[in-house]
Amino acid sequence: MTDLSFDCPRCGEPAEGRFYGPCSSCAQELRARYLPEARQVEAPAYEPKMNVTPNAVATKE
């Protein structure tokens, strides 16, 4: 897989990617702006249950 080298059309910084478009940081900003739900997905949605003891995990082969 060969990445293209180009200047980001949004911020003008040199960028690399599989396709021409906003650089990774700009893409993140755009994604956060237009898809606010994406931020919520990154945050843990639930508290992991602590019922499993560390010993049970350690002895599992």
Which residues would be at the binding site for Zn ion (CB under 5 A)?
8, 10-11, 23, 26
Q: Give 14 or 44: the residue with its C-beta nearer to Zn ion.
A: 14
- What would the 3-class secondary structure string for the chain be? CCCEEEECCCCCCEEEECCCCCCHHHHHHHHHHHCCHHHHHHCCCCCCCCCCCHHHHHCCC
Q: Give 38 or 52: the residue with its C-beta nearer to Zn ion.
A: 38
Q: Give 12 or 54: the residue with its C-beta nearer to Zn ion.
A: 12
Tell me the closest approach of the beta carbon of residue 45 to Zn ion, in angstroms: 30
